[in-house]
């Protein structure tokens, strides 16, 4: 059995280190039970509606019930984890999140793979295969996580960081667009914001070339989430843009 770790240390090519708190089997099981309850409610509701097909044919009703049950059980996880950036109802309640195991942005293909293999993890009953895999995996990964290259982390409530350590700034050009700021806060995950914050705090430790490349990549990532008008970003350096984004993210989340 591999020795499990509760904290995963990740180092970026630019030399930034950050840690992720891995979710254990107990919290993942509790989140799974909540999700099962949600799926059961949805399946029962759909089954009640489909019962109208018994007026036409009992066989059609049974076929549609089985098909809908499969679609709901798989589609629930895929839909929630993609829309909520790695979370389902259960994971949100237990403060858990699915992430790429390298700390990168979760891809749709990863969400699909880990949820399709949930069928294998649930064999032969009571999630026995997935439970055993999680216990022997160093990163507490079930088979779906291993195949998709994902991990499940804990996301404790983040306290408002001291933004003064980022340097005093007179004007944040992005703050003039509250609707776009709200969309940015919705799309950018807590972990992505934390990585950018650490990069800003440690920027003076970086080699100048690495510093430029790091903030270029962070700025590209944030700009891909929400496109601000040209007048808000013209003449703004990548590092300044990232600083503006981080300020808006943590001002909201610390309230």
Please check whether residue 150 is in contact with residue 177, taking contact to mean a CB–CB distance below 8 angstroms. no
The residue-averaged pLDDT of 132-153 equals: 93
What pLDDT was estimated at residue 145?
96
Q: What is the pTM of this model?
A: 0.69
What pLDDT was estimated at residue 9?
75
92-115 pLDDT, tens digit each: 999 999 999 887 778 999 999 999
Residues sharing a CB contact under 8 Å with residue 21, sequence separation 6 or more, in sequence order: 6, 7, 153, 154, 155, 156
195-204 pLDDT, tens digit each: 888 888 888 8
Give, in order, the Cα–Cα distances in Å from 222 to each of 20, 69, 123, 188, 202: 21, 37, 40, 8, 19
The highest-confidence range among 32-36, 49-53, 209-213, by mean pLDDT, is 32-36
Element at 20 (helix H, strand E): strand 17-22
């Amino acid at each position: 059995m591999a020795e499990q770790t509760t904290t995963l240390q990740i180092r970026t090519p630019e030399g930034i280190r950050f840690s992720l708190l891995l979710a254990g089997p107990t919290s993942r099981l509790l989140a799974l039970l909540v999700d099962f309850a949600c799926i059961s409610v949805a399946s029962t509701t759909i089954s009640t509606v489909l019962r109208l097909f018994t007026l036409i044919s009992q066989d059609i009703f049974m076929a549609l019930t089985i098909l809908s049950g499969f679609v709901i059980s798989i589609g629930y996880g895929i839909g929630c984890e993609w829309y909520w950036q790695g979370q389902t109802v259960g994971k949100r309640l237990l403060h858990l999140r699915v992430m790429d195991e390298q700390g990168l942005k979760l891809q749709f293909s990863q969400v699909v793979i880990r949820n399709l293999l949930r069928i294998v993890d649930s064999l032969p009953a009571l999630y026995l295969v997935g439970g055993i895999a999680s216990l022997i995996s160093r990163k507490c990964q079930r088979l779906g996580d291993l195949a998709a290259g994902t991990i499940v982390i804990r996301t404790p409530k983040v306290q408002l960081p001291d933004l003064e350590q980022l340097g005093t700034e007179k004007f944040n050009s992005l703050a003039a667009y509250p609707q776009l700021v709200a969309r940015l806060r919705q799309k950018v995950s807590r972990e992505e914001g934390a990585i950018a914050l650490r990069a800003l705090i440690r920027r003076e430790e970086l080699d100048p070339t690495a510093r430029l490349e790091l903030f270029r990549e962070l700025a590209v990532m944030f700009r891909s989430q929400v496109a601000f008008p040209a007048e808000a970003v013209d003449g703004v350096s990548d590092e300044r843009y990232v600083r503006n984004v981080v300020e808006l993210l943590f001002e909201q989340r610390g309230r």
